[in-house]
Amino acid sequence: MVRPRNVNRATAPRAKADWEQEEFDSRTQIKEAAHAVTELGEQLAEMSPANLAKLTIPAELKEALATLKRITKGNAIKRQKSYIGKLLRQNEHLIVEVKALLDEEETKRKQQNAHFHRLEKLRDRLIEEGDDALAELMQEYPQADRQHLRQAIRNAQKEQEQNKPPKASREIFKYLRGLEW
């Protein structure tokens, strides 16, 4: 009689890796989480040196990031990114720090874009409405040069009528940006 191979064979419980912060239902989810950490490592490699200095990065990871920046061939880049992901998974606290820093940068970028959109709307309103919008701007920013702005607004209006490139509109935008900063 043939005895089945798996009789009396117990499976030992596997220890979870440190970077796994939640229960996973399948190996696919584990692989997706590992891939997300690897992508986080790619974003880490693209960060400026000033932002990297804000993080407490181990020397081994710093060296791996520097190596990734030097590599130019395809498969070597893929292997190095995987290695950086592995190092990140070993340093779980670093994953949290990197995510926080990336979120902070994204917030700053969104705030700057929103600010520029406000300035663009203000510029367009100045060109459309002329002196009425200029009077409101002067109440908000009394240090602004009224004569310079009025001349730039007239030039921008003429450029729009003649379908010329918006040189004066750009000049107004730069001036408004200078008032804000």
Residue 18 pLDDT greater than 50, yes or no: no
Q: How many CB atoms lie within 10 A of CB 80?
A: 19
pLDDT 10s digits, 109-130:
999 999 999 999 999 999 999 8
pLDDT above 90 coverage of the chain, percent = 50
Could you tell me the pLDDT band of residue 29, with boundaries at 50, 70 and 90? confident
Question: Which of 32, 59, 21, 61 lies closest to 44 in space, CA to CA?
Answer: 61
Fold match, 27-90 / 111-180:
yes
Q: Does domain 111-180 have CATH number 1.10.60.30?
A: yes
Residue 53, pLDDT score: 87
What are the residue ranges spanned by the domains of the chain?
27-90, 111-180
The answer to whether 154 and 127 have CB atoms below 8 angstroms apart is no
Residue 11, pLDDT score: 65
Could you tell me the pLDDT band of residue 34, with boundaries at 50, 70 and 90? confident
Interval 133-147 mean pLDDT = 90
pLDDT 10s digits, 37-95:
999 999 999 988 888 888 888 999 999 999 999 998 889 999 999 999 999 988 888 88
Residue 52, pLDDT score: 86
**How high does pLDDT run on average in the chain?**
86
Question: In CATH, what class is 27-90?
Answer: mainly alpha
Residue 151, pLDDT score: 93
DSSP per-residue string spanning 79-139: HHHHHHHHHHHH-HHHHHHHHHHHHHHHHHHHHHHHHHHHHHHHHHHHHHHTHHHHHHHHH
